[in-house]
């Protein structure tokens, strides 16, 4: 049974391929955690470029490890917000997430913040594809 599950074609990929929707995309995974979503997206959209944002320094290390052999995934250690600057990421109770704050708190990490527009301008990104668009 395990081999059957592992070798079965991904249902999303099958549907997208049927309608000719597997193509080269520019994808953003914001709050990438350890890379689970971006690794899946790079499998479904193999000719795409994915930008994976994770501001938490510990999770960023795990993200870069899990994606190190995937040149189509670019890991970025910063948060996205309204405007570029600095902030603090609260110490989460689990490894799932922290909260971006303006002032330091107990166990908070200093982080860099960029706006989506500024990041795209700095990296010459003209379009981000929305895989949820109708």
What are 88's two structure tokens? 């603090």
Please spell the DSSP secondary structure of 22-73, one letter per residue.
----EEEEES-TTSHHHHHHHHHSTT-EEEEE---HHHHHHHHHHHTT-TTE
Say what the pTM is.
0.79
What are 1's two structure tokens? 């049974």
Instruction: Tell me the CB-side half-sphere exposure of residue 81, using CA atoms within 13 A.
Output: 18
The reported pLDDT for the residue numbered 95 is 61
Q: What is the pLDDT along the chain (134 residues), one digit of tens a residue?
A: 334 444 456 777 777 777 666 678 899 999 899 999 999 988 888 889 999 999 988 899 999 999 999 999 999 999 999 999 998 888 766 666 777 777 777 778 889 999 999 999 999 999 888 755 43
Domains (range + CATH), the chain: 2-122 (3.40.50)
Neighbouring CB atoms inside 10 A of 86's CB total: 11
**Distance of alpha carbon 99 from its chain centroid, rounded?**
17
The reported pLDDT for the residue numbered 131 is 59
For 20, list phi and psi in degrees, rounded to 5: 70, 30
């Amino acid at each position: 049974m395990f081999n059957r599950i592992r070798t079965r074609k991904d249902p999303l990929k099958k549907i997208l391929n049927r309608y000719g929707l597997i193509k080269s995309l520019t994808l953003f995974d914001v709050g990438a955690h350890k890379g689970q979503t971006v690794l899946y997206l790079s499998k479904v959209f193999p000719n795409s470029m994915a930008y994976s944002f994770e501001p938490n320094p510990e999770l960023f290390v795990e993200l870069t490890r899990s994606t190190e052999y995937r040149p189509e995934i670019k890991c970025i250690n910063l948060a996205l917000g309204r405007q570029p600057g600095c902030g603090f990421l609260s110490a989460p109770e689990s490894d799932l997430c922290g909260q971006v704050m303006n002032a330091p708190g107990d166990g908070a990490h200093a982080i860099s913040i960029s706006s989506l527009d500024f990041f795209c301008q700095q990296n010459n990104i003209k379009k981000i594809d929305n895989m949820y668009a109708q």
